[in-house]
A and B are shown apart, each in its own frame.
Chain A
Amino acid sequence: MTATDQLLFEGADWDFRTLQRICDACEQIARDELGLDVYPNQIEVITAEQMLDAYSSVGMPLFYKHWSFGKHFAFQEASYRKGLMGLAYEIVINSSPCISYLMEENTATMQTLVIAHAAFGHNHFFKNNYLFKQWTDADGILDYLEFAKRYVAHCEERHGRLAVEHTLDAAHALMSHGIDRYPGKKSLDLRAEEKRAGRRRAHEESAFNDLWRTVPTGPAKSGAVLDVERRRAMLGLPQENLLYFLEKTAPRLKPWQREILRIVRHIAQYFYPQSQTKVMNEGTATYVHYRIISRLHEQGRLTDGNFLEFLQSHTNVVFQPEFDDPRYSGFNPYALGFAMMQDIERIVTNPEAEDRDWFPDIAGTGDTMGVLRDIWANYRDESFISQFMSPRLMRRFRMFHLHDDPEERAGILVDAIHDERGYRRLRRELARQYDVGFIDPNIEVVDVDLAGDRRLMLRHTVVKGAQLSEADTKRVLQHLADLWTYDVSLVEADASGTVLKEYVANPRKIAAVA
């Protein structure tokens, strides 16, 4: 215990040896006491200016060039200079090795917090959560970004900056609809398909019975219906991944344009798990840093003063303003996530009767880390909240549910509050707020008029009366039409099939683009 009795550091100053000691100490606790399983860590110390740089390219260390990143940079720089916005203490990248950026301005205590938070908390989550496992390739992402950057630069050289910029603009506009939401079935290669066809033929031959021929069939499908079905099957319709559809079937795209759509699509897909696990991801990381640093303090490796400094930052991070507070802007994922993790720890170690009713599987089992690791691996925000939000926590946050129906003249209805009657409804509604299926509008390619003017037909299925914002939709459709190079129509219809609105966009002349 002699090694662990020593203080990691004193005061606020740090150097690279201190960082190394901090990492080693955190790693020991993370691995031996919390049982975390992480990618190798790479910690990079950067300046505030570099942090600002990283912001503008969605936090990635390397990215292709596009004006919109410059716009975000200019915007963020302006608000940073005016003091409207502080910078994050760290940025962490889901890659292997897992890269964490640390700001050089941080004090030693902050560096400890950040290392515990990013290099162990987030890192464990990235490596173990099923969504990340399914959708992202941590080993390959940096290489892929490098490729994307080079490819885009190469295209700019070959085909002109404007043409590339235009393609990227269009692809970015469709980025939120360039995601595969379900792992698709693997398409068979030729040999496998031949084998399968052969097996089917053999089966038909072995089971041949001439009697079947005499059985009367229903009315034959008309040729037109068959045509439609065949066409839709060939085009893989309906298709909700618009970028994928364009990449594969847009008639007049050049090969490099397809590749750019593909790059944007891949990057959107890479970020897809992150948008679904904000609460869990931050909750995990916050819980982990809290555990690790508390433990360091217990071991006597952190002075009381430094621990207090940590507690102050930690409290700021998990602060949840109430709805009527001017600072309120939705649920703070750090606050909600951390509160739920702590609540689960309480349920596992020290449950009350209510908890035993609500969470019979985990209440009182005693193995906090086992339960949490399992949750971290197998849930996303929506399922996590709908399964593990406890009545006690709803009471603590004093949650209530508002139902705002514009048709209702009287006002907004308070539909449920934190009481016995409301718990389940509250929980369901809160979970729904984190359900990507409800957040993104449901837009699909339904058909292409191949016989006529090659019009691409889209349908937005309206949920709860929320239609698309008109100005934005027109602009997005314009981009879509430019890529498709024929007319594009979008129909908004509610669940009963009533058409609410229809948009048509015509492609612009290519000459105007270049």
Chain B
Amino acid sequence: MAIHIVDRRLNPGSKSLENRQRFLRRAKALVQGAVKKSSQSRDIKDVLEGGEVSVPIDGMDEPRFRREGGTRDMVLPGNKKFVEGDILPRPNQGGGKGRGAGEGDSEDTFRFVLSRDEFVDLFLDDLELPDLAKRKLAEVETEGIRRAGYTTSGSPANISVSRTVSRALARRVALRRPRREVLEALEAELLDCSEERRAELMAEIEAMKTKMRRIPFIDPIDIRYRRFETVPKPVAQAVMFCLMDVSGSMTEHMKDLAKRFYMLLYVFLKRRYRHVEIVFIRHTDRAEEVDEQTFFYGPASGGTLVSSALQAMHDIVRSRFRPADWNIYAAQASDGDNSYADGEVASRLLTDNILPVTQFFAYLEVGQENGLSYEMPNSALWTLYEGLRANGAPLSMRKVNERSEIFPVFHDLFQRRGQQERTGS
């Protein structure tokens, strides 16, 4: 008896991926709750690393008819001292109770590990970049190629063999082209047969051969080519400006808050929209465009001139991101300090140059730890921006003091708006 030995190790693994996704979809609300809850107590970096979450089993259980209670009889191994008729005291609840019913009904909370992608997906699921679809989106970046049926002309490289052969077959059948086997059979018969039959056969074979010549095996009309057509793939492109004050008046805690906010933003953007450019501008009394690493971790100190950052942003927009082609978003984080003289300049830059071309401008004011925002007088920048907002500028403003507030504020800013609200605005 033959034994087949098959090496399946190279077969694609994770056959359960689909089932896992279904499970996550089903448990989505629960998992999301667990994810959000853990996001408040944990560092953002850790949170976004994914990891283990535990989810209550409700709604995901698989009920069965099960019996419980009643008199129970069991046979156990390992008797040491019991004799027939002994009465054993009942163990307290918990000790001996779980033994009989080891059916997995003890999974009242269910722990499992989410991958980083799954975690981030759930974490940011109901957020979206505001008003992305408004401006000119269809900037053609690539042209894709798509199969589009068959054609009678084309390059030889595109011949569709199966289609050609099947058409040829259909034509041969329709025109009754003699089959080779039939011809061979007749020729074999020819070798030993009577004279009168011979003439008959010869004629028949000749007729067949003529017909075969007339009806070719593959005719040019059979040939089909695979047709491709190019399709433009519209790409919604956006650029996100991250502005941050890194001046001396910003404490470590404030920077930490701002960093966390941008990290969230960064993860969100990278995941949500594939074609998003991010520009990091940090400023003290002068602004510079930096890379991500420097933005978050580079040391800097100095005075505060918000207008420098706005000016830098304006320059970058003008030189690299034509407002006609790009959706422009900006998020600014600051402690609110600004030199008084700068207010006028900043305000003019914003209203004249920046707000008209941006879709959305978010301002995040970071405060002292344990600081109570409502007791503090409004900062210079806050007052300035509030004034602009009162005039109808598309500005969103939030104050943040605690780490735990970062996510709610972020969530609030980027929450997917209801339909009517969006059309109304």
| Residue of B8, B61, B99 touching A46 (CB-CB under 8 A) | B8
Verify B66–A469 contact, CB threshold 8 A.
yes
Docked complex: A40-55 residues within 8 A CB-CB of B: 40-47, 49-50, 52-53
For A23, the chain B residues whose CB sits under 8 A away are 3, 5
Knowing A403-B71, A426-B75, the reply to whether A67 touches B22 (Cβ < 8 A) is yes
A432 within 8 A of B: yes
For B23, the chain A residues whose CB sits under 8 A away are 67-71, 73-74
Minimal Cβ-Cβ distance residue in B for A43: B5
A291 within 8 A of B: no
Pick out which of these stretches binds chain B: A204-212, A227-235, A369-377, A406-414: A406-414
Verify B84–A414 contact, CB threshold 8 A.
yes
A397 within 8 A of B: yes
Shortest Cβ distance from B27 into chain A, in angstroms? Answer: 8
Q: Interface size on B (CB < 8 Å)? A: 62
Per-residue CB contact flags for chain B residues 60-80 toward chain A (1 = under 8 Å, else 0) read 111111111111111111111
Verify A77–B75 contact, CB threshold 8 A.
no
Shortest Cβ distance from B93 into chain A, in angstroms? Answer: 12
Minimal Cβ-Cβ distance residue in A for B21: A70
| Residue of B7, B19, B26 touching A57 (CB-CB under 8 A) | B19
Verify A419–B70 contact, CB threshold 8 A.
no
Knowing A20-B3, A43-B6, A70-B19, the reply to whether A466 touches B74 (Cβ < 8 A) is no
Verify A73–B65 contact, CB threshold 8 A.
no
A289 within 8 A of B: no
**A433 to B85 alpha-carbon distance, docked (Å):** 21
Pick out which of these stretches binds chain B: A136-144, A214-222, A309-317, A320-328: A320-328
B18 within 8 A of A: yes
Verify B71–A417 contact, CB threshold 8 A.
no
| Residue of B14, B20, B62, B69 touching A467 (CB-CB under 8 A) | B69
Shortest Cβ distance from A457 into chain B, in angstroms? Answer: 16
Verify A473–B15 contact, CB threshold 8 A.
no
**A46 to B15 alpha-carbon distance, docked (Å):** 13
Verify A397–B22 contact, CB threshold 8 A.
no
For B156, the chain A residues whose CB sits under 8 A away are none
| Residue of A81, A101, A329, A412 touching B87 (CB-CB under 8 A) | A412
Verify B83–A173 contact, CB threshold 8 A.
no
Per-residue CB contact flags for chain A residues 442-481 toward chain B (1 = under 8 Å, else 0) read 0100000000000000001011111111011101100100
**A169 to B21 alpha-carbon distance, docked (Å):** 16
**A433 to B2 alpha-carbon distance, docked (Å):** 40
Minimal Cβ-Cβ distance residue in B for A413: B87
Per-residue CB contact flags for chain A residues 400-436 toward chain B (1 = under 8 Å, else 0) read 1111111000111111111101100010011011000
Verify B82–A78 contact, CB threshold 8 A.
no
A75 within 8 A of B: yes
A266 within 8 A of B: no
**A176 to B64 alpha-carbon distance, docked (Å):** 7
B297 within 8 A of A: no
Shortest Cβ distance from A310 into chain B, in angstroms? Answer: 20
**A322 to B79 alpha-carbon distance, docked (Å):** 8
A133 within 8 A of B: no
Verify B82–A417 contact, CB threshold 8 A.
yes
Verify B3–A43 contact, CB threshold 8 A.
yes
Verify B78–A40 contact, CB threshold 8 A.
no
Verify A465–B71 contact, CB threshold 8 A.
yes
Verify A416–B79 contact, CB threshold 8 A.
no
For B67, the chain A residues whose CB sits under 8 A away are 441, 466-469
A330 within 8 A of B: yes
**A176 to B103 alpha-carbon distance, docked (Å):** 14
Verify B18–A65 contact, CB threshold 8 A.
yes
Knowing A422-B84, A465-B71, the reply to whether A411 touches B89 (Cβ < 8 A) is yes
**A469 to B24 alpha-carbon distance, docked (Å):** 28
Verify A469–B84 contact, CB threshold 8 A.
no
Pick out which of these stretches binds chain A: B105-113, B180-188, B201-209: B105-113
A182 within 8 A of B: no
Interface of chain A, main secondary structure: mixed
| Residue of B14, B75, B89 touching A53 (CB-CB under 8 A) | B14
**A65 to B20 alpha-carbon distance, docked (Å):** 10
B420 within 8 A of A: no
Verify A75–B107 contact, CB threshold 8 A.
yes
For A323, the chain B residues whose CB sits under 8 A away are 76-78
Verify A441–B111 contact, CB threshold 8 A.
no
Verify A44–B8 contact, CB threshold 8 A.
yes
Docked complex: B113-129 residues within 8 A CB-CB of A: 113
Verify B82–A400 contact, CB threshold 8 A.
yes
Docked complex: B90-105 residues within 8 A CB-CB of A: 90, 99, 102
Shortest Cβ distance from A49 into chain B, in angstroms? Answer: 4
Knowing A50-B9, A50-B11, A322-B78, the reply to whether A475 touches B63 (Cβ < 8 A) is yes
Verify A75–B110 contact, CB threshold 8 A.
yes
**A46 to B23 alpha-carbon distance, docked (Å):** 25
B375 within 8 A of A: no
For A16, the chain B residues whose CB sits under 8 A away are 5, 7
Shortest Cβ distance from B278 into chain A, in angstroms? Answer: 34
Verify B71–A67 contact, CB threshold 8 A.
no
Per-residue CB contact flags for chain A residues 229-265 toward chain B (1 = under 8 Å, else 0) read 0000000000000000000000000000000000000
A-B contact pairs, 29 of them (CB 8 A): A19-B5, A44-B8, A45-B6, A46-B8, A47-B13, A50-B15, A57-B16, A65-B22, A67-B19, A67-B60, A69-B16, A70-B22, A71-B27, A73-B23, A74-B23, A78-B112, A175-B64, A398-B80, A399-B77, A400-B76, A402-B76, A414-B88, A417-B83, A419-B84, A432-B73, A440-B65, A469-B67, A472-B64, A476-B65
Nearest 7 A-B pairs (CB), nearest first?
Answer: A322-B78, A466-B70, A70-B23, A70-B19, A465-B70, A475-B63, A323-B76
